[in-house]
Structure 1
Amino acid sequence: MTFEALQQQREYILLECISGSKAYNLQVPTSDTDIKGVFILPQSELYGMTYTPQVANQSNDEVYFEIKRFLELLDKNNPNILELLSTANGNQLFRHPLMNLIQPKDFLSKLCLETFAGYAKTQIKKAKGLNKKINQSHGTERKDVTEFCYVIAGSRSVPLREWLHENNLSQNDCGLARIDHFRDVYALYHTSQFEPGVTFKGIFSGADANDVQLSSIPKGPDPLAIMQFNKDGYTVYCKDFASYWEWVELRNEARYEHNRELGADYDSKHMMHTFRLLTMAEEIARYKEVRVYRNDRDFLLRIRNGEFTYDELLDMATQKLNDMEQLYAASDLPDHPDPELAASLLIRIRDEFYVPEK
Structure 2
Amino acid sequence: MNIQNIKNNNLILFEAISGSRAFGLATENSDTDIRGIYYAPKEDFFGLNYIPQISNETNDITYYEIGRFVELLQKNNPNILEILSSPEDCIQHKNTLMDLLKPEDFLSKLCKDTFAGYAISQIKKAKGLNKKILNPIEKERKSILDFCYVLEDQGSVPLKKWLLENRKNQEKCGLVNIDNTKGMFAVFYDESGDLPYKGIIQNEEANQVSVSSVPKKDKPIAYLFCNLDAYSSYCKDYREY
Q: TM-score, normalised by structure 1?
A: 0.58
Q: Hey, what's the Cα distance between the residues in 1 that align with 2:16 and 2:190? A: 75
Q: Give the match for residue 224 of structure 1.
A: 221
Change (3 A) 1:53 1:200: same
Q: 1:250-289 alignment to 2 at 5 Å?
A: none
Q: How far did 1:16 drift? A: 1.9
Match of 1:212 among 209, 214, 223: 209
**Deviation sequence 1:269-301 (CA, Å, 0-9, x none):** xxxxxxxxxxxxxxxxxxxxxxxxxxxxxxxxx
Q: Secondary structure at the match of 1:74?
A: helix
Q: How far did 1:132 drift? A: 3.2
> Which runs of 5 or more residues in structure 2 are unaligned?
none
Change (3 A) 1:19 1:156: closer
Change (3 A) 1:102 1:175: same
Alignment of 1:118 onto 2:110: no
Change (3 A) 1:15 1:179: closer
Q: Secondary structure at the match of 1:228?
A: strand
Q: Hey, what's the Cα distance between the residues in 2 that align with 1:98 and 1:25? A: 28
Q: Secondary structure at the match of 2:119?
A: helix
Change (3 A) 1:211 1:76: same
Q: How far did 1:36 drift? A: 1.5
RMSD: 2.8
| Greater strand share, structure number | 2
Alignment of 1:174 onto 2:169: no
Q: Hey, what's the Cα distance between the residues in 2 that align with 1:183 and 1:8? A: 62
> Which runs of 5 or more residues in structure 1 are unaligned?
245-358
Instruction: Tell me, yes or no, if the aligned pair for 2:137 and 2:238 is still in contact at 8 Å.
Output: no
Q: Secondary structure at the match of 2:122?
A: helix
Q: Hey, what's the Cα distance between the residues in 2 that align with 1:167 and 1:158? A: 12
Q: How far did 1:109 drift? A: 0.8
**Deviation sequence 1:315-341 (CA, Å, 0-9, x none):** xxxxxxxxxxxxxxxxxxxxxxxxxxx
Instruction: Tell me, yes or no, if the aligned pair for 2:196 and 2:213 is still in contact at 8 Å.
Output: no
Change (3 A) 1:105 1:205: same
Q: Hey, what's the Cα distance between the residues in 2 that align with 1:115 and 1:122? A: 11
Structure ranking higher on relative contact order (CA contacts 8 Å, 6+ apart): 1
Q: How far did 1:33 drift? A: 2.9
**Deviation sequence 1:36-60 (CA, Å, 0-9, x none):** 2212234454454422323334443
Q: Hey, what's the Cα distance between the residues in 2 that align with 1:29 and 1:198? A: 64
Q: Give the match for residue 3 of structure 1.
A: 3
How many residue pairs are counted as aligned between the two chains? 240
Alignment of 1:108 onto 2:107: yes
Q: Secondary structure at the match of 1:192?
A: coil
Q: How far did 1:143 drift? A: 2.2
Identity, in percent, stands at 47
Q: Hey, what's the Cα distance between the residues in 1 that align with 2:55 and 2:39? A: 14
| Greater helix share, structure number | 1
Q: Hey, what's the Cα distance between the residues in 2 that align with 1:72 and 1:168? A: 69
Q: Hey, what's the Cα distance between the residues in 1 that align with 2:38 and 2:116? A: 28
